[in-house]
Amino acid sequence: MTTNKHEADQRTTVGVPSDAELASSLTGPLGVEFRSEYATVNGLRLHYVAGGQGKPLVLLPGWPQTWWEYHKVMPALAAAGRRVIAVDLPGMGSSDKPATGYDKKTMASVIHALIGALGYDQVDLAGHDVGAQVAFSFAANHPLATGKVAMLDVLHPDASLYQIPMLPPPGSPFFPWWFAFNQVADLPEQLLAGRAHLLVDWVFDHFLLDQNAVSAQDRAVYARAYDTAEAIRGGSGWYQTFGQDIVDLGAYGKVAAPILGMVSNLGDGMFAAQMQATLPAQASDVRVVVVPNAGHYFVEEAPQAVIEEFNRFFV
């Protein structure tokens, strides 16, 4: 029996565990259990996975991932006496994928509404990649609801993004081609619908030092989450709103909440140098930590380092 290319591409997502199954698979010290839940806020149905008891710590993932990005650290963080809540952002995973509203200020307002719906006045937040941008915007726009913030490897969009060259200079250690690719209307979903695993594999193949840190099943979880045109369009929306994000940043004062910057040594130290130079100008209480021997996806590649830094910072 012959299988066409589209069917072959889709096979990577067949048999992938559901969010509920993935949540129940998380085990750790003290028998903490996690559950897959939904809440409707600001007209959007958001998916999140939560477990543990204590002060809430909200985890916001990045592109092209879902809440599952944090699965290696969630049990230990909960066992330390926290209510750990990993959220699929608008446009991500099992959360709704609206036509608009992907600027980070609007996304932060959705997360703010979610924590209110969950019964909290104030939370700590950690975000990676796009999640870090939303976490910073949350702190800037909802200071009374913000405890402490961890930003992992990515800063809030600023005008330096306009200086990224269309073609990389010879010898450039890092070239974020997807920043431009995701600006293109309609084409990314036509190219990637049903074959998101090609994108998922590329980013992990290039931005992990240890290829085993994100398993075949992990990649299949992310590929399924981005395999539809609607999901690809949602992810692109986070990039297409960078212009508005840059305008919004210009209106923010210094963030008062303590910020932990955790950064990889990707791009021959370019990410680390940028975070060390930029964050102190944007927030008044900043500590930057470089994660050694790990790439951009260090939540999965160096989970113990993340657990230890979070347990020191979120007290």
E strand or H helix that includes residue 87: strand 82-87
Cα angle for residues 120, 59, 105 (degrees, 5° grid): 75
Distances (CA, A) of 81 to 21, 105, 192, 257, 312: 24, 30, 41, 21, 13
Query: Residue 290 pairs with which residues in a beta bridge?
Result: 263
Contacts (Cβ under 8 Å, ≥6 apart) of 177: none
Is the preceding peptide bond at 64 cis, omega within 30 degrees of 0?
A: yes
Cα gap 127→86, rounded to integer Å: 10
User: In this structure, what DSSP letter does residue 66 have?
Assistant: -
The whole-angstrom separation of Cα 266 and Cα 37 is 34
From the candidates 70, 226, 239, 297, which is the catalytic residue?
Answer: 239
Is 296 catalytic? The answer is: yes
Active-site residue flag, 239: yes
Q: Which amino acid is at 237?
A: G
Q: Of 19, 124, 129, 227, which is the active-site residue?
A: 129
158 is catalytic: no
> Which backbone phi and psi does 56 adopt, to 5 degrees?
-75, 135
User: What gap in Å lies between CA 282 and CA 278, rounded to an integer?
Assistant: 7
Active-site residues, by number, are: 129, 239, 296
